[in-house]
Homo-oligomer: A and B are copies of this chain.
Amino acid sequence: MAEPVEVPPSATQRRLLDAARDAFGAKGFHGTTTRDIAAAAGMSPAAVYVHHRTKESLLFAISLEGHQATLAALRDAGATAADPTAQLAAMIRRFVHGHTTDHTLARVVNYELAALTPEHRAAIDALRHDIQELIRGVVTAGVATGEFDCADVGMTTNAIMGMSIDVARWYDESKAWPPQRIAEHSAQMALRMAGARAE
């Protein structure tokens, strides 16, 4: 399978993707029609069709962009820190911060995976695998240096990711703690989960 090509979206495409993200977030993928999305983007269904032949193609575009951005953000966060303890904290801080500020996007890309075609699902799963491997790599490195005390790196990585992803479900900007605080607390929890000796 060819690597998906990253092309920055045009203003029209941006409006369309944002409208689709909000519609999927509000009514779910299966509960949304392309007509709903066109109306929300202020476009005709025919104009939408020029950009995306199917509703699923919109979901894939949103999901691809979201996962690529997350992967880049985590790599970037990891590069700013020198040791596994600081790297894990920096990555989870960034990851959770993104899952609060872009919670609608995060809900759509995490809860509508089953609606993707098998080919698109495989492309997204490859990116999810890379994201998971980044975190798992840092946990493994920390065990190797003796910074972390962690008997099961795979399950612990899953638990850290689970805690972090679920923030998108419960976060509510009207009443929750500010994103910065949730991100910082999640990073501290991740260090505890990995058995960090110095938190």
Q: Please, which residues of chain B bring their CB within 8 A of the CB of A26?
A: 114
**Quick one: which of B111, B155, B158, B170 contacts A158, CB cutoff 8 A?**
B170
A133 to chain B, nearest CB (A): 15
Q: Please, which residues of chain B bring their CB within 8 A of the CB of A114?
A: 26
CA distance A192 to B195 in the complex (A): 8
- Which A121-157 residues have a C-beta within 8 angstroms of B? 152, 155-156
B31 touching A169, Cβ below 8 Å: no
A185 touching B159, Cβ below 8 Å: yes
- Which A148-199 residues have a C-beta within 8 angstroms of B? 152, 155-156, 158-159, 161-163, 165-167, 169-170, 177, 181-182, 185-186, 189, 192-193, 195
Identical chains bound together, number: 2
B31 touching A189, Cβ below 8 Å: no
A111's nearest neighbour on chain B, judged by CB, is B111
* A45 within 8 A of partner (CB): no
CA distance A177 to B181 in the complex (A): 32
CA distance A166 to B181 in the complex (A): 21
B162 touching A166, Cβ below 8 Å: yes
- Which A67-124 residues have a C-beta within 8 angstroms of B? 110-111, 114
B169 touching A165, Cβ below 8 Å: yes
CA distance A152 to B29 in the complex (A): 37
A162 touching B155, Cβ below 8 Å: no
Q: Given contacts A156-B185, A162-B169, list 12 more A-B pairs with CB under 8 A.
A: A26-B114, A28-B28, A28-B30, A155-B177, A155-B181, A155-B182, A156-B189, A159-B185, A162-B170, A166-B169, A192-B193, A192-B195
